[in-house]
A and B are shown apart, each in its own frame.
Chain A
Amino acid sequence: MIRYILKRILMLIPVLFLVLFIVFTINYFSPGDPVSSIVGAEATMEQRARVRESLGLNDSFIVRFGRYVLNVATKLDLGTDYITKRPVRDEIFERLPTTLSLTFLAIALASVVGITLGIISARFQYSIFDYMSTLFSLIASSMPAFWIGLMLLMVFALKFRMLPSSGFNSPRHWILPVATIAFNVLAIVTRNTRSSMLEVIRQDYITTARAKGLGEVKVIAQHALKNALIPVFTVIGVQIGRTLGNAVVVETVFSIPGLGSLMVTAVKMSNFEVVQGCIIIIALSFCVINLIVDLLYAFLDPRIKGQYMKAGKRTIAKAAKSGGSANG
């Protein structure tokens, strides 16, 4: 199992390299010019040329890419923000916790509520509760995040003055942005849990469990849930990725100083180093989260755990064989 984890971690490196390459290429060939954002309209041509030179923007693609990769690999240096002159790494890590906590709070809330609603809907299929939750899911997943955010702002911050409209300093500030993101995710989790549970409840082993005389709660909690949650976790994993991407929208509406808003401002100002750094960090986060979700499967489903172990053993067996043949 450890071998499997190590293998996955090693695989991160080529993935990140590829992401870096793609982003760097796109930035390199995109028409924006960071110099304009730095010097403003009244600067002379000599000044602009000087700034270009000092940022190293005149070097070739290979040189710039090579320099960047070297910096990342050896010093974990993600470059310098053209405009504020601060290290990109500092700026990102100032904001990363905010975005991550926003994402995770929302996902956690949506998962807990969604799974509960999904279980109840499945158990009482065709009841009023089921219809209401289906309807709610449909509506909630169709509403775009910024609209939900603005509506919540208007109702709670403006009309009822119950909650603050911007910032992310205290728990009161967290409620609205987290709710906004959670809405969409909740809908999807509920639907998926419901359908997964419905499938699982029809399985023979559930009838077996009931035939053993176990109470309904035990049947659902111990027998059905473990099996039903596996596909739901896949969905949640995907949603985490989607939410990281959607952070931009919510951070804009609620003026939250997170990674998303940093990235948007950077794109508008053609602040390439910041954009690259943000994307790498987001890609890294996404890969790590995927790994954790995959490991969770193993925890839930012993069949998958067996596959992971086999995968580890197979490489050992192969290595042993090839080692043997090299010696023999």
Chain B
Amino acid sequence: MKLLEIRGLEIHYVTDDGIFKAVNGVDLVIEEGEAVGLVGETGAGKTTTALGILRLVPSPPGKIVGGEIFFAGENLLKKSMKAMRKIRGAEISMIFQDPMTALNPTIRVGEQIAEVIKQHMNCSKTEALSRAIDMLSTVGIQPERAMEYPHQFSGGMKQRVVIAIALACQPKLLIADEPTTALDVTIQAQVLDMIHDLQQKLHTSMLLITHDLGVVAETCDKVAIMYAGEIMEYGTLDQVYNDTKHPYTKGLFASIPSLDKKAGRLQPIQGMMPNPSDLPSGCVFHPRCPRASEICKVKAASMSEVSGGHFVRCILCENGDMEGK
């Protein structure tokens, strides 16, 4: 059962300096209980997409200009704000990137968790608080610390609190926007494990946004590669990692330094991500693509299925000109 289906989502930021096309026709599907990774460089539009799902895109500059987002069969873009608020925190939750700033410094931690519980579940304040304390123990924080303030916690513990808030109402979909990027490596592993465990236990679907292909490999079932506001490649782990089709994805894998191979220099992808207000014509990746041909400069590709459930947005791949690995 498709829990979340995004079709042709377009989000623009309208400013005095021009229109920034942050998300340009994104298609994505997440099944129930499934964890999908959304991978891309900084500036690819991943966070914007995530915010778009919850309709939290900052509205003076940002605007959702097209597409549909179906959640449990209903188009979120057509819902009223009141209906959206019922969904936020209860059906769909989000974990943000920087735990240091994600919590309100002037409110006690326990109360911040209790807040989301009280908002969505019909219970009294004391009940909400006790449930919040339970959540805290679930994420491994002693209940006594519920009355403390965020500045009294370390980064890792703060992130656990954020996770507690996100999962307190047992949402169907959890969107995790680079949840471990701001943490150091040892804590990273802990937090990822915890997210993974909870997700499995509660049968929650997850959209994990990250730039780290390794993290995706450990926690996700499917992965989507995003570049300049579009999904370039999408499929299961096995398909994308072992049968990489898109030149961009290949470039990504190639740029990861390897422990066993001896390498003189790193191999980044040539060039820079284009400015969203001034996107190239035709295929968005063509200026940096080692295999770009004339047709790539003029004609934009659409997502085509190269094998069961494995989609690529590349004209050359469509025509079967690219080989895997």
Contact = CB atoms under 8 A, between A and B. Distances in A.
Query: Are chains A and B touching in the complex at the 8 Å CB cutoff?
Result: yes
Interface of A: 125-126, 202-205, 207-215, 222-223, 226-227, 300-303, 306
Contacts of A303: 105, 149, 151
B113 to A, nearest CB: 10
Nearest to A300: B106
B149 A302 contact: yes
A204 B93 CA distance: 15
B90 interface: yes
A223 B103 contact: no
Contacts of B89: 211-214
Nearest to B94: A211
B151 A205 contact: no
A212 B119 contact: yes
Contact of A204 (B85, B98, B119, B165): B98
A126 B14 CA distance: 13
Contacts of A226: 104, 106-107
A227 B86 contact: no
Q: Is the interface of A mostly helix, strand, loop or mixed?
A: helix
Nearest to A230: B106
21 contacts: A204-B101, A205-B101, A208-B103, A208-B165, A209-B104, A210-B88, A211-B88, A211-B94, A212-B116, A212-B119, A213-B85, A213-B86, A213-B87, A213-B89, A213-B90, A213-B116, A213-B120, A223-B107, A302-B105, A303-B151, A306-B152
Nearest to B108: A302
B106 A212 contact: no
B105 A223 contact: no
Nearest to B61: A126
Contacts of A227: 104-106
Contacts of A214: 85, 89, 115, 119
Contacts of A204: 96-98, 101-102
Nearest to A127: B60
Contacts of B98: 204
Most interface-central of A211, A214, A222, A300 (chain B CB within 10 A): A211
A171 B168 CA distance: 53
B224 interface: no
B162 interface: yes
Contact of B88 (A125, A202, A213, A302): A213
A267 B149 CA distance: 52
B54 interface: yes
Nearest to A224: B104
Given A126-B60, A204-B101, A209-B104, 10 more contacts: A202-B58, A204-B96, A208-B104, A210-B56, A211-B96, A212-B165, A213-B88, A301-B106, A302-B105, A302-B151
A288 B106 CA distance: 25
Contacts of A302: 105-106, 149, 151
Contacts of B97: 204
A21 B106 CA distance: 42
A212 B105 contact: no
Contacts of B85: 213-215
Interface string B164-187: 010000000000000000000000
Contacts of A222: 107
Contacts of A210: 56, 88
Interface string B68-91: 000000000000000011111110
Nearest to B101: A204
A204 B51 CA distance: 12
A126 B152 CA distance: 37
A203 B60 contact: no
Contact of A212 (B60, B115, B149, B152): B115
Contacts of B93: 211
Contact of B56 (A211, A301, A306): A211
Most interface-central of B88, B97, B98 (chain A CB within 10 A): B88
Contacts of B162: 208
B93 to A, nearest CB: 7
Contacts of A209: 104
| A-B residue pairs, 9 tightest by C-beta | A213-B88, A213-B89, A212-B89, A204-B101, A212-B116, A302-B149, A205-B104, A213-B85, A211-B94
Contacts of A203: 101
